[in-house]
Structure 1
Amino acid sequence: MEIIVTIPQSYPAERDYIISVILKEFLGLDYVIQRTGRANVCISDKDNRRRLIIADCLFAISEEQWLTNKSLPKQPLNVLDHRLFGFDNALGFPSLPVIYGDLKSHLDGPNHAQNTPNGQEFWLPIDIFGACFFMLTRYEELVKTDRDEHNRFPPKAMLAHQEGFIERPIVNEYIEILWSGLKRVWPSLIRKKREYRLLLSHDVDDILSVVGKPLKQVIRRIGGDLIVRRDLIMVLRNMQAAWLGCAEKDPFNTFDFIMDLSEKNGVSSTFNFMTDLGHTKYDQRYNIDHPWARHCLRRIVQRGHLIGFHPTYGSYLNAERTKSEFLRLKMAAEEEGAEQNEWGGRQHYLRWQNPTTWQHWEEAGLNYDSTLGFADLIGFRTGCCYEYPVFNLQERKKLNLRERSLMVMDGTVTDRDGTITNILWGKIFHLNDICKKFSGDFTLLWHNGKVASRRQRKLYLSTIDSIL
C-alpha cells in the first residue's frame, strides 16, 4: 500500500531525509510526499479516509533559531506512558522520554480522544520525525560547544545522558510507536523484515607489541606486564619475542585467534588498519607497507575477513589526509588480494566533528563510518541500532555515507589486566538483547592488542560466546 505523507513546507531537505530514513529505510514502506500549509504531519491513504496525525515541533521553528540553543529540546523532558494509546506490546517499558512533542494539546485540548468517532483518525503527540532527526544527525553536537581534551563532544553534555536514556535506542522506540500507530489505522500494513547482526570490528592501533620497537617502549611494555598487570607469562612472551625479533611470537599477533573465534561463530571480523605513522603521541607507530602489516592484510583477506580504515589522530578535520590515508590503505589491501564491495572503519580515539568528518569520509569514497560511540561509556550515541545514511547539517543534504553506531568498546568495559565488573558485564548483554529485540545491529569493538594475554583471551571468548 502506498501512503500519502502530508507535511508543512518548511525545511524540505531535512524532512525528506528523515521521512525516507524512517518510512523507507527502516520500515520499508512506499509513500508520496505532499507539502501544504498544515501545522502537523498527516499520514493517510489515497482516499484520505484513514489518517495518522503526528505532532510537528522541531521543523516548526524559525530559520533564525535553527542550529541554535533555542531549537534544543526543553529540559527536563516530559515522559509519556505509551500505554495510554493502547500500545502495550510496543516497548519493554511504559515510560517514553519525549524529545519533541505536543503533549499539552493531547491531554488538555480537543485531541485528547485517541480516535475520532468514526475510528479513522489517530493522533500521536510525539514529534517522531523531529526527534529521530535530532538523534540521527547528532544535531546537538553541532549546536553545543562542549568538548573534552581530545576535542570530542563529551557524553555529559548529551541529552541522552542528562535525561537517563543513553542505554536505550530511543530512535528504535519511536519507530515502534509510529508503527503501532500505523497498524492501528491500517491493520493489514506490512513492514520490512530485519535480522539481528553482530558487527565485530578490531581497531589495529599497533601490529606488534615489542618486535621492532625502540628499547624504551619494550622496557615500558614489559614493566607494565610485571608491575601493573602482574602477568609473568606476558613478561616472558614479550622478552622472548623482543630477543628473537620474531613477529610470529609477538603477543599482538592475535589475528588468527580472532578470526578462528569469528569463524567458529559464523561471523566476519573487520580489522581497521592505520596507514601512516601519525604525528602525535596518540598515534601508533607502524606503516601499512611494513612486511608484517602486509602479511596480516594478506592473511585476513585469504581467510575471508574484511579490511577497514583507521585514520590517524589528527585526520578527522583534514579532508586531504583522510583521503590520502584511505587510498593508501585500499591500494595496499588490494595488492594483497582484497576485493571488497564496501569500505568503512572508525576514527582513531573516536575523534569526530559534526558534520565535517562525515563529509570528508564521503568525499574520500568510503561507504560507512562506525565512529559514533563512547570512549568512556557504553550505549546508543545516535539512539539507534540500525545502520542508516547520514545527513550533513551544514550543507543540508543527505550523504551516501552510512553510519554503523558503536555500542561497546573493549577499553570502556575492561581494566588494564583484562577483567570486567559484573555490572558492566551485565550491561553488555543487556544492550545486545535490546539490539536483538529490535532486530538491529550490535556493534562491538575489540582491539587486537586486547586479546594478547591468556586472561584477555578468556574474557573475549566468554563475551563472544555469551553474546551469540
Structure 2
Amino acid sequence: MELLVYIPKQTPRINYIFRHICGRILGFKVKFTSKVEDFISFEGVKFSYAKKRLGNEVFIQKFGLLEELGINDLNFSMDLWEDVPCFFRVSSESDIPFDIFSASFYLVTRYEEYQPHVKNDVDSYPIEESLAYQHDFLRTPVVDVWAYKLKAILETKFQDIKFPQKKFKSQFLISVSKAFKHRHNGFVRFVGASLRDLFKLQLKSLFNRFKTMLRLQQDPYDVYDELISFAKKNRMQLDFYFQLSNYSRYTKGISYNKRIYHKLIKSMGDYGHLGLLPGFEALYNFEILKKEKKRWESIVNRSLSKTLIKNYHLNFPDAYLNFNKLEIDEDFSMGYQKNIGFRAGTCTSFQFYDLNLEQVSGLIVQPYILNSNVLKIVDTYEKIEELKELKSSIKAVNGQMNFLFENSDFAESGSKNAIFALMKEML
C-alpha cells in the first residue's frame, strides 16, 4: 500500500527515516511530493511534514534535524506523549506534539554515539551516557511505539483503508568462539592448562580435563547435538556464528584449520543460518576482517552474509563501515552486553546510516534485546518474568526479539535448563 508524504524539500535523512518508520515498521510504500496540488488530489493515506499545515490534513511539524548535515550539539528536553517518553517538541499546531521522525532518526542512527564520549571497557559507548538509559526507556522500543501511534492517527483519518500487518518474531543466535573446552586444542595447550590447574590447585578442573581427554565424558562445550534436538522439539531455528581468528591473547579456541572444526561448522548449517564471529583484532583491522571472511567462505562454500559481535566492543561506527565495505548483508551486534533493552530504540531491523558521509548503506542492523552476559550476574528464572512483560510490549508493535547466547552457556546443566526455559517462553 502506498503512503504519500508532502515535504517542501527531500533530504537523505528524510528519505531514510521515513522508509524505516512508514516502510519497515508500518509496511507502507512511501512516496514523497513537494507539489501541493498532487498532495491534495491524492485519495489514499497521506500526511504532511513541514513547518506549517497546508489545510485540514494530518500534519506533523518538523523540528529541523533532518535538514541538517553532520553531527551538531542539540539542545532539547524530554517530554511525555500519552505516557511514552519523547523529545524534539514542536508547536500545538502539529497532530503529534513532537517530531517523531527527527527523534527516531536520532535514536536509530545512534547520533549520540558520534558525539564526544569517554569509552568504557565493555561496549565502547557507555550506556550511562545514552538518552534511553538516563530517561528510563531503554526497555521500550519507542520508535515502534511512536510509529504505531502515528498509525492510529492515520486509521482515524482514513477509516476505509486496510493497513498492512507484520508478525512478531523471536530469533536465537549461538556464538561459538571456543568450540570445545578441552578436546582438539592440541597437546602443548593441554599440558600447559593442566599445569596451570595444578599450580592453582584447581583439582576439579584438572580432573574434568583428563576425563574429557580420555573420552570418559563429553567435552563441556560440545552441546551441539542437544541444542539441535531442543530446537527440533520446540520447532525453532538456531543460527550459529563461528570465530575463525588466529590464536592470540583474545582467541583461545580450536585452530580454524582443523578438519573437525570445519565439519562442525558445516553440520550446523543444516539446522540454521551460519555467520561469522569476528575476532577482536578483526574489529580494528580491515585486512584481518577480510582474511577471516575469506576463511569462512572457503569452509562454508558460499558468500558470508551475517556477522555478530558478542563479547567485544562493537567499535561503532567503524565496524559497520568495514562490514558494509565487505558487502555483508546483516549484523546482529546492536545492543548492550550487560543490559536488557534496545540500544537504538527500535525492535525492527534497520539500515545502517553513516552520519559522517550522510549515506545509507546496504548493511541491515538487527538489534538484540538480550546478550547472555546479562544472565551471568543474575538469576535467569527471574529474568524470564521481566522478558515476558517485554515480549508483550514488542508483540503489540509486531516487532522482533533477538537473543544472543554462546555454546559455553549450555555447559552446566543448571544454566542450560534455565536458558531452555527462557527460550521456550520467548517463542
TM-score using structure 2 length: 0.87
Q: Partner letter of residue 76 of structure 2?
A: K
1:31 matches 2:42: no
Aligned to 1:290: 258
Range with bigger deviation, 28-37 or 455-464: 28-37
Aligned to 1:324: 291
Instruction: Give a deviation string over 1:256-287, Cα, whole Å, max 9, x none.
Output: 111111122212111111111254x3333333
Aligned to 2:76: 74
Cα deviation, residue 50, structure 1: 5.6
**Root mean square deviation, CA, Å:** 2.9
Structure 1 residues 423 and 34 mapped into 2: Cα distance closer, same or farther (>3 Å)? same
Cα deviation, residue 400, structure 1: 1.2
Q: Partner letter of residue 213 of structure 2?
A: A
Instruction: Give a deviation string over 1:93-148, Cα, whole Å, max 9, x none.
Output: xx11112221xx21xxxx3xxxxxxxxxx721221111111111111101132310
Instruction: Give a deviation string over 1:68-95, Cα, whole Å, max 9, x none.
Output: 2x22x524x11222xxxxxxxxxxxxx1
Counterpart-to-counterpart distance in 1, 2:150 and 2:373: 36
Q: Partner letter of residue 253 of structure 2?
A: R
Structure 1 residues 423 and 465 mapped into 2: Cα distance closer, same or farther (>3 Å)? closer
Cα deviation, residue 219, structure 1: 6.1
Aligned to 1:443: 402
1:274 to 233, 238, 243: 243
Q: Partner letter of residue 132 of structure 2?
A: A
Report SS of the residue matched to 2:95: strand
Report if aligned partners of 1:372, 1:406 keep a CA contact under 8 Å in 2. Answer: yes
Unpaired segments of 5 or more residues in structure 1? 82-94, 112-121
Structure 1 residues 43 and 127 mapped into 2: Cα distance closer, same or farther (>3 Å)? farther
1:392 to 342, 354, 357: 354
Cα deviation, residue 429, structure 1: 2.4
Report if aligned partners of 1:370, 1:405 keep a CA contact under 8 Å in 2. Answer: yes
Structure 1 residues 223 and 25 mapped into 2: Cα distance closer, same or farther (>3 Å)? farther
Counterpart-to-counterpart distance in 2, 1:304 and 1:324: 26
Cα deviation, residue 193, structure 1: 1.9
Unpaired segments of 5 or more residues in structure 2? 44-53
Cα deviation, residue 391, structure 1: 1.1
Aligned to 2:12: 13
Q: Partner letter of residue 231 of structure 2?
A: S
Aligned to 1:124: 96
Counterpart-to-counterpart distance in 1, 2:155 and 2:35: 25
Report if aligned partners of 2:228, 2:271 keep a CA contact under 8 Å in 1. Answer: no
Report if aligned partners of 1:210, 1:217 keep a CA contact under 8 Å in 2. Answer: no
Aligned to 1:242: 213
1:161 to 109, 113, 133: 133
Report SS of the residue matched to 2:334: coil
1:215 matches 2:191: yes
Instruction: Give a deviation string over 1:370-413, Cα, whole Å, max 9, x none.
Output: 10111111111111111222211112111111011111111212
Identity of aligned residues (%): 17
Aligned to 1:183: 155
Report if aligned partners of 2:123, 2:336 keep a CA contact under 8 Å in 1. Answer: no
Counterpart-to-counterpart distance in 2, 1:166 and 1:43: 37
Q: Partner letter of residue 402 of structure 1?
A: I
Aligned to 1:432: 391
1:305 matches 2:301: no
Structure 1 residues 54 and 436 mapped into 2: Cα distance closer, same or farther (>3 Å)? same
Range with bigger deviation, 28-37 or 325-334: 28-37
Would you say how many aligned residue pairs link Structure 1 and Structure 2? 412
Structure 1 residues 458 and 54 mapped into 2: Cα distance closer, same or farther (>3 Å)? same
1:298-377 alignment to 2 at 5 Å?
298-301=266-269, 303-334=270-301, 343-377=305-339
Report if aligned partners of 1:274, 1:312 keep a CA contact under 8 Å in 2. Answer: yes
Q: Partner letter of residue 180 of structure 1?
A: A
The list of structure 1 runs, each at least 4 consecutive aligned residues, that deviate by more than 4 angstroms after superposition, is: 42-45, 47-50, 60-63, 218-227, 234-237
Report SS of the residue matched to 1:351: coil
Counterpart-to-counterpart distance in 2, 1:219 and 1:181: 68
Cα deviation, residue 235, structure 1: 7.0
TM-score using structure 1 length: 0.80
Q: Partner letter of residue 395 of structure 1?
A: L
Report if aligned partners of 2:350, 2:366 keep a CA contact under 8 Å in 1. Answer: yes
